[in-house]
């Protein structure tokens, strides 16, 4: 009691007559209680300096290590109608096994002879291409014949031109000779006329020389006409060469135009053949899509679209399949504040739902029922739940994960961090501080 009141009961009332007083105020009990407090204090101080493993916890679920091993749905690339099922839910299927058969619902693909008719159109167009090849070859030969004929015609015209030029040269020489003969005849006529005036020549001789002079002059005029005619033949030969060149150029141009038209038609036919080839291939591939097959070995979990005669659109989910061969992993979600503490290769302890476990947060080595793992992937973008996704794979150096774990079951993950004293961890918790940030040696080596 505090003895605040002036009416002190301890001086008026005595407790020595009570048995409880004698039991509570024994010296031996004081000594035992003090020893208990000392031992408890020593143990508490020792415990405060024991090592404690900091950790980051997170909830997740079991998944597979690679995306192609996860549960998937099978879709149809084309719209159709379900005609026949070949499997039941829970059946095991191998890769390529037929799951169901569908039929066509689009009118443009319902012709059963669509592929054969498309191939027949393709073959007809192919023969058209061959016909155009023959026509183009004939036109090429015709152009070659015209070129050869034009060469012969031009050579013939050039020969005529050469003959005309030689004739002009010959006529020009004859013209000069006629001019010389005329000069000689005039000189003889003048000399005979002078001798006749002197009485040395008769009048008959003068008349003969006059006649000869006139004949020579007539020959000169005739030779000039021949010379002019020869020049005219040269011009005619040159005109003939131009005419032959123009005529055959026109013929060759017309044949070349027909050839280019045939080649253009052939290219169009080849393009049409390619289109028909594409159509026939697409139709064949579409026919193969009528049988929905398993993409890999696995189990049929659920038929999303059931019954017969039910129609569906392209890309719509039909069957859910779970691969039979997979490597287990765990998806863990951590808070953004804990993300810098997670590194590739980080050791993680995992507790699976449905498996009995005794777990001590700070002493993972003393825990029972947990399994080891390592961080293999850290997501760099936040998930829809506001946390970051961590992928954990089994640790080869730790205990083997249970064989009966199924994909999708829950898991509780504990990422192990630094070892610190218990007093430091209590102080951190009381102050609301995050675990110590550190970079493991493996992470430093991987960065280098």
Task: Judge if pTM exceeds 0.85.
Answer: no
Give the pLDDT confidence score for residue 361 in this predicted structure: 58
pLDDT for 445 beyond 70 = no
Residue 29's CB is within 10 A of a number of other CB atoms, namely 11
Give the pLDDT confidence score for residue 35 in this predicted structure: 82
Give the pLDDT confidence score for residue 92 in this predicted structure: 92
Give the pLDDT confidence score for residue 437 in this predicted structure: 59
% of the chain with per-residue pLDDT over 90: 4
φ/ψ (deg, to 5) at 340: -60, -15
Query: Is the CB of residue 72 less than 8 Å from the CB of residue 297?
Result: no
Instruction: Supply angle C-alpha 326, 327, 332, rounded to 5.
Output: 120
Query: Is the CB of residue 212 less than 8 Å from the CB of residue 185?
Result: yes
Condensed to tens digits (0 to 9), the pLDDT of residues 20-70 reads: 666 666 556 667 777 888 888 888 888 777 777 767 777 888 888 888 888
pLDDT for 442 beyond 60 = no
Query: Is the CB of residue 164 less than 8 Å from the CB of residue 234?
Result: yes
Determine the average pLDDT of the residues in 225-240. Answer: 83
Condensed to tens digits (0 to 9), the pLDDT of residues 176-218 reads: 888 787 788 778 778 777 877 777 777 777 777 778 878 888 8
Domains by residue range for the chain, with CATH? 50-69+326-447 (2.40.30.170), 72-104+290-323 (2.40.50.100), 114-288 (1.10.287.620)
Determine the average pLDDT of the residues in 402-417. Answer: 80
Condensed to tens digits (0 to 9), the pLDDT of residues 280-309 reads: 888 888 888 889 999 889 999 888 887 888
Rounded Cα distance, 158 and 156, in Å: 5
Lowest mean pLDDT among 10-24, 267-281, 386-400: 10-24
């Amino acid at each position: 009691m505090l003895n605040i009141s002036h009416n002190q009961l301890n001086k008026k009332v005595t407790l020595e007559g009570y048995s409880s007083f004698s039991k509570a105020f024994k010296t031996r009990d004081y000594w035992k209680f003090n020893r208990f407090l000392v031992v408890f204090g020593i143990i508490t101080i020792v415990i405060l300096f024991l090592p404690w493993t900091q950790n980051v916890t997170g909830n997740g679920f079991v998944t597979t290590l690679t995306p192609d091993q996860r549960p998937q749905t099978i879709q149809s690339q084309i719209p159709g109608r379900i005609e026949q099922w070949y499997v039941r839910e829970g059946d095991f299927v191998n890769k390529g096994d037929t799951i169901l058969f569908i039929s066509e619902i689009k009118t443009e693909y319902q012709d059963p002879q669509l592929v054969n008719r498309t191939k027949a159109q393709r073959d007809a167009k192919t023969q058209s291409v061959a016909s155009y090849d023959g026509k183009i070859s004939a036109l090429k030969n015709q152009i070659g014949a015209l070129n050869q004929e034009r060469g012969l015609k031009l050579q013939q015209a050039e020969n005529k031109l050469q003959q005309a030029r030689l004739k002009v040269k010959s006529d020009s020489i004859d013209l000069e000779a006629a001019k010389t003969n005329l000069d000689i005849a005039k000189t003889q006529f003048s000399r005979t006329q002078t001798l006749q005036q002197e009485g040395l020549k008769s009048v008959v001789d003068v008349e003969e020389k006059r006649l000869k002079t006139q004949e020579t002059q007539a020959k000169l005029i005739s030779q000039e006409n021949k010379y002019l005619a020869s020049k005219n033949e040269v011009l005619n030969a040159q005109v003939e060469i131009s005419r032959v060149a123009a005529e055959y150029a026109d013929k060759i141009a017309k044949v070349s135009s027909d050839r280019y038209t045939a080649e253009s038609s052939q290219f169009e036919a080849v393009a049409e053949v390619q289109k028909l080839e594409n159509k026939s291939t697409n139709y064949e591939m579409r026919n193969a899509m009528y049988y929905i097959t398993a993409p890999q070995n696995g189990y049929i979990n659920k038929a999303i679209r059931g019954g017969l005669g039910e129609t569906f659109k392209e890309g719509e989910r039909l069957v859910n399949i779970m691969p039979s061969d997979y490597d287990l992993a765990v998806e863990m979600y951590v808070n953004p504040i804990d993300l810098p503490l997670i590194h590739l290769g980080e050791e993680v302890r995992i507790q699976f739902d449905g498996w009995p476990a005794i777990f001590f947060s700070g002493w993972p080595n003393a825990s029972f029922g947990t399994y080891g793992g390592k961080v293999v992937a850290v997501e760099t973008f936040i998930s829809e739940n506001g946390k970051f996704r961590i992928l954990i794979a089994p640790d080869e150096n730790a205990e083997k994960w249970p064989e009966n774990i199924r994909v999708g079951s829950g898991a509780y993950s504990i990422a192990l961090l630094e070892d610190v004293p218990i007093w430091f961890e209590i102080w951190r918790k009381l102050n609301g501080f995050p675990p110590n940030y550190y970079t493991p040696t493996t992470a430093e080596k991987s960065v280098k």
